[in-house]
Amino acid sequence: MRRAPAARRQRCGSRGLSLDTLPPLREVIARHGLNAKKSLGQNFLFDGNLLDRIARVPGPLEGRTVYEVGPGPGGLTRALLRAGANVVAVERDDRAIPALAELAEAAGGRLRVVDADAMTVDAASLAGEGAHIVANLPYNIGTALLTGWLSSEAWPPWWASLTLMFQKEVAQRLVAAPGSSAYGRLSVLAQWRTTARIAFTVPPRAFIPAPKVESAVVHLVPTSAMSSATPAKLSALTAAGFGQRRKMLRASLRGLPGALEALEAQGILPEARAETVPVSAWAAAAALL
């Protein structure tokens, strides 16, 4: 008899559950009363092909650890497990914990569910060095989590890559080039230490409930930092520069001593505006502060 592929062979739990015999997500959601909560920024994905596509973005996951935030009913979690990953999933919605417990039983020890707030847990300790972070992030905390992961004092970071779902507008800011309307503080922070790309976009109709905006999956891979600047210095410099982005730098940086001189040392004129300054110049200037 032909055996199932290694990534799909699972040890069954006490009730005979396996990844191949799990009930459909819609049934799980109905049974556990998991209607999406706006207060938690929840929008669920049901399309298995789309979820598998997200799980392929980081590359091969067989035997690798994946850290997932906000799994909800576990749609993306299933896809990650199908890809062969060992998943650490952090969920603060108590309603989802029983459904995730069923999925953990079916996963044969490859899923650990942590009932906690992702904004307060020590993700590095939970997931371990070299984990991939893959998540359909709740809209209300997505940018804050990303900023925290990009602002680690230690670099390279504990994570191997980030594969994250954002509103398309946020995704465009992450990859924006100088001179574009989307280019700003988030662009500088992301591109200072990582290579960032939009893997693909996702229409509103793919979600339940459908958001009012398009979404996009972004993939970020850590690289060597462009300078010896600290995240705090870069944040202070870009906050001042982009805080009044329509003004010339000589005006917007007036309140930050040494900032204008540090940018002038990179060949940036005082008459320039923040959105025209390349990432490398922001990083080098921040190192001089």
The CATH number assigned to the domain holding 278 equals 1.10.8.100
Same structural domain, 192 and 58: yes
Residue 70 annotated in ligand binding: yes
Q: What's residue 8's pLDDT? A: 38
Same structural domain, 133 and 215: yes
Residue 91 annotated in ligand binding: yes
Angstrom distance (rounded) from CA 152 to CA 147: 9
Q: What's residue 152's pLDDT? A: 92
Same structural domain, 238 and 218: no
How many CA atoms does the CB half-sphere of 187 hold within 13 Å? 22
pTM of the model: 0.91
Give residue 92's domain range. Answer: 19-222
Same structural domain, 155 and 263: no
Residue 264 annotated in ligand binding: no
For 22-61, what is each residue's pLDDT tens digit? 998 889 888 988 776 776 667 788 899 999 999 999 999 9
Residue 234 annotated in ligand binding: no
- Average pLDDT for residues 118-126, to the nearest whole number? 97
Same structural domain, 86 and 174: yes
Angstrom distance (rounded) from CA 231 to CA 253: 18
Residue 120 belongs to a domain: yes
Same structural domain, 66 and 201: yes
Instruction: Measure the CA angle with vertex 76, ends 71 and 193; round to 5°.
Output: 85
Same structural domain, 275 and 179: no
Same structural domain, 132 and 210: yes
What are the phi and psi torsion angles at 160 (to 5°)? -90, -30
Residue 88 belongs to a domain: yes
- Average pLDDT for residues 64-82, to the nearest whole number? 96
Confidence grade of residue 16 (pLDDT, cut at 50, 70, 90): low
Same structural domain, 52 and 166: yes
Q: How many domains does the chain have?
A: 2
Q: What's residue 44's pLDDT? A: 81
